[in-house]
Amino acid sequence: MVKSRVGKTVESLGEYLREQRVAAQLSLRQLADQAGVSNPYLSQIERGLRKPSAEVLQQIAKALRISAEQVYVRAGILDPDEDRGSSVELAVLADSRLTERQKRSLLDVYASFLALNSRVDDAETTQGES
């Protein structure tokens, strides 16, 4: 069931962020202030009730002094097994001039190009073996 998978991703993200906040010895209010988000919104993220944008995740990661890429993986935005495109994906996610919808669209197109090229490479390899 897709909904439960997405829900689990959001919950585990919230748990992860809470663990990082506690390890950094920051209160919820302190982290919210440093990340530039409201205290109730951050609380909802930590409880798995909200799925924050890539930009908000980047702000939280910066305030926690942890890798934004690691947070994106936890949020299900980046695939940890796809090393090839991570710098492209990170550049898109970090670009504050793009809306969240534009970022998602660019990443979807990029992923489709990678998948297409992978299928072409596989077909060429199969033909070369014949």
pLDDT digits (tens, 9 = 90+) for 53-109: 888 999 999 999 998 888 888 888 877 766 555 678 888 887 878 887 888 899 889
Q: Given this model, what pLDDT does residue 104 score? A: 83
pLDDT at 62: 93
Residue 76's pLDDT is what? 84
Q: The tokens of 58 are what?
A: 């980047």
pLDDT score of 5:
43
pLDDT at 15: 93
Closest CA relative to residue 56, chosen from 74, 68, 67, 48: 68
pLDDT at 122 over 80: no
Q: What is the mean pLDDT of residues 3-32?
A: 81
CATH number of the domain at 2-129, out of 3.30.420.40, 3.40.50.2020, 1.10.260.40, 1.25.40.10? Answer: 1.10.260.40
Please report, for the chain, the start and end positions of each structural domain, with discontinuous segments joined by +: 2-129
The answer to whether 49 and 41 have CB atoms below 8 angstroms apart is no
pLDDT value of position 83: 57
Predicted confidence (pLDDT) at residue 6 exceeds the cutoff of 50: no
* Other CB atoms within 10 Å distance of the CB of residue 7: 14
- pLDDT tens digits, one per residue of 31-56: 999 999 999 999 999 999 999 988 89
State which amino acid sits at residue 8. Answer: K
The reported pLDDT for the residue numbered 119 is 82
DSSP letter at 79 equals: -
